[in-house]
Amino acid sequence: MIYAPAAQAQDSAAQAQDSAAHASSSSKAGERAQEDDREIVVTGSYTTGAELGSATGLGLTIRETPQSVTVMTAQRMEDQGIRTLSDVVNNAAGVSARSLDSSRNGFSARGFDINNYQIDGVPLQWENGYSAGETLLDIAMYDRIEIVRGATGLLTGAGEPSASINLIRKHADSVVPTGSLTASIGRWDAYSLAADFSTRVTSDGSVRARVIAKYGENDSYVDILHDEKLVLYGVVDADLGPDTALSFGASYQDNNPRGTLWGGLPTWYADGSRTDWDRSKTTGTDWSRWASQNENYFANLRQNIGENWTVELYGSYSANKGDLHLLYVSGQPDRETGLGLNRSAYRADFKRKQIDVGFKLNGTYQLLGRSHELVLGANYAKQDQDIFTYASSNVAEIGDFNAWDGSFPEPTWGERSRNGDVRTRQWGYFAATRLSIADPLKVILGGRLASWKRDGVLSGSPVDFGNENRFLPYAGVLYDVTPDHTLYASYTKIYNPQDARDREGEFLPPITGQNYEAGLKSAFFNGGLTTAISVFHIKQDNLAQPDTGYTVPGTNPPAEASYAANGARSTGFEVEANGEILPGWSLAANYTQFTAEDADDQRINTLYPQKLLRVFSTYDFAGTLEGLTIGGGVNWEDTSYTDTVNPVTKEAERLKIKSYALVNLMARYKLENGLSLQLNAENLFDKKYYSQIGFYNQLAFGEPRNVTLTARYEF
């Protein structure tokens, strides 16, 4: 059931969560909604005692999971003014983001790209998760974001040993009408309006519903660029009986930008010297856009079998679309005249449909006088991608780029033709057990029989690769040194087919390897503060790396060629603390450092930093200042770079993003009538930095100082 008797409720340091719904709230720890003898306990802490299914499927807490886990709670996302999935990655432990242009972002962890995603634990295939706005997903409909670092092949199958991002939806968890209204305004004429309402549908509260709507518009520090976004979400949670729970719903997000950039700004002038543009400089036009729509429909049925077993059946259908009208600008302009740039116009329709179905069986069993846990499951995913392109003609010359204002005439678009028709199927069977060897000693053993196939046509070239029945073992051990300190170690294999191609147009072989991790997890103040120290070592073969200066034959637009790097390895450590240090004082702090190199000791995935520091803290005042919260933090990252060749001088050159720190502040005042006002300042000292440099030898700038004022009314 969803509700727990008051006598059995957890304290404010833990998050109450039952088998049918996910707890969701932006309130501070200890706030409770009551009706009759039932209550919901929610938490606003920067940590959680909730059971997580992102890594093993066994429903373990952060401390019980033998891998590095970070949970971005609702309270932390509210405090930091986090709005999109990219914002989450830019603030979470051990993961980093790079903007590829104004509509796309790449994510990375431990030296490898992130391509494993889940929603409510259901794996998604987003290995190129930016074609239809996936990295711009709004977090309004999500209660928390779980990030498991390292390999997660047990549940997700094929994938990189970087991280898996699991988005946990908000659910209808209130038996009384409750909700919130939120309005915000910010720099560059930004504003948004959001409503979140939840209530019971039946008089006894056994059927509940929740709806969320959000609309926002904003200009940008980049000239011409304008974004418009609509988010809709609805879910029904129903207790069909004392042992049966059903949840179903749908979500929709529409991104409608104008003045979209495709790629970045020129890096060199015609004389070979480096450019130094204003942050507002753009290659966008009045007509360019990368519009996207994301639809998702889902259902989950959970049935208790006796006292010890639960079976869960789930299914989802998603349809993502992209509408692209773009102009690509390349070359080296003359410093004085602004002449000399090349251009390429591109129009395409992108569609991706995906069906996911699966089941999980969880329970406990007795063996040798002790109780142990078991999960069995299977899942299947089928994805269809269609790409249609349009021929272009009458593409005007760029002219003086120094005087560029976006008033570039739109080309004449020709007939629509199919450029891609690709089908991807993934299926697997998995099992894991947690053996209670002794009271302080637990061993997790499991494995997945994974299959992955892709076929079709892409850019005029046939696509047909994949493998069946690859076995991916998983092993973990945890030892409770004391009731509050746990040592752990884990191991798993890596398998990841890749669509990267070499300079001859051939697909690279699948990535294989091993992932090792060990560490210490601790809890303080009755679980109010959690810490983790971990070390990891990853070995990979066949990792795709950019083959600088070469493109894949026959691709339009030209795709950068890759080569397979053997003996790739990543070794490093992470330190993390989340929760309350003292009553009212919350902290999220972490530091990550690693080296990722190939067999020749050359750094790989150099576009992303190998050292990260993220700190954010808030303090809730008491007494005469009760209701006031102030906070702040800093995000620091070390140098990242791309080694390339200056196209003018023909000399080797390293394009760097030098180490930089961004300082953020917040303040909130909460009135007794449910109204609160919050002010967030990001990049307080207006640091000018590159958000990426070297992607196709171009560059982009990060966001200048931004200030947002938010008013929220909760009822």
Burial 554-578 (b: 16+ CB within 10 A, else e): ebeeebbbbbbbeebbbbbebbbbb
The pLDDT, as a whole number, for residue 219 is: 97
Check residue 604 and report its DSSP letter. Answer: -
Nearest CA among 155, 162, 166 for reference residue 106? 162
27 within a domain of the structure (yes/no): no
Q: How far apart are CA 641 and CA 652, in angstroms?
A: 13
For the record, the structure tokens of 350 come out as 């992108």
233 within a domain of the structure (yes/no): yes
Amino acid at 489: A
Residues 107/113, Cβ–Cβ less than 8 Å: yes
For the record, the structure tokens of 336 come out as 């004085």
Residues 667/652, Cβ–Cβ less than 8 Å: no
Q: What is the pTM of this model?
A: 0.89
Side by side, the strands of the sheet bearing 104-109 are 95-101, 104-109, 112-113
The pLDDT, as a whole number, for residue 7 is: 31
Residues 284/260, Cβ–Cβ less than 8 Å: yes
Q: How far apart are CA 248 and CA 237, in angstroms?
A: 7
Number of domains in the chain: 1
Measured in whole angstroms, the distance separating CA 179 from the mean position of its chain's CA atoms is 26
1 within a domain of the structure (yes/no): no
Q: How far apart are CA 285 and CA 714, in angstroms?
A: 41
566 within a domain of the structure (yes/no): yes
- Cα angle, residue 141 at apex, residues 140 and 147 outer, rounded to 5°: 90
660 within a domain of the structure (yes/no): yes
Task: Say which residues have a Cβ less than 8 Å from residue 301's Cβ, sequence separation at least 6.
Answer: 244, 245, 246, 247, 312, 313, 314
Check residue 347 and report its DSSP letter. Answer: E
Q: How far apart are CA 589 and CA 579, in angstroms?
A: 9
Q: How far apart are CA 1 and CA 107, in angstroms?
A: 37
DSSP readout, 184-198? EEETTTEEEEEEEEE
Measured between alpha carbons, how far is residue 576 from residues 53, 489, 551, 592 in Å? 20, 17, 41, 9
Residues 141/184, Cβ–Cβ less than 8 Å: no
Span 553-599, pLDDT tens digits:
877 667 888 988 888 899 999 999 999 999 999 999 999 999 999 88
361 within a domain of the structure (yes/no): yes
**Dihedral of the CA atoms 500, 501, 506, 512 (nearest 10)?**
-40
What are the φ and ψ backbone dihedral angles of 255, each rounded to 5 degrees? Answer: -105, 125
Residues 318/294, Cβ–Cβ less than 8 Å: yes
The pLDDT, as a whole number, for residue 48 is: 86
4 within a domain of the structure (yes/no): no
Amino acid at 585: W
The pLDDT, as a whole number, for residue 126 is: 65
Span 513-537, pLDDT tens digits:
899 999 999 999 988 999 999 999 9
Q: How far apart are CA 386 and CA 391, in angstroms?
A: 17
- Cα angle, residue 171 at apex, residues 116 and 198 outer, rounded to 5°: 145
Check residue 505 and report its DSSP letter. Answer: S
Please identify every stretch of the chain with a pLDDT value under 70, giving residue numbers as ranges. Answer: 1-44, 125-133, 556-557
The pLDDT, as a whole number, for residue 111 is: 92
Q: How far apart are CA 487 and CA 374, in angstroms?
A: 22
Check residue 136 and report its DSSP letter. Answer: G
605 within a domain of the structure (yes/no): yes
CATH number at residue 611: 2.40.170.20
Structural domain harbouring 369: 69-714
Residue keyed to tokens 């409510």? 120
Span 609-627, pLDDT tens digits:
999 999 999 999 999 999 9
For the record, the structure tokens of 483 come out as 């009731």
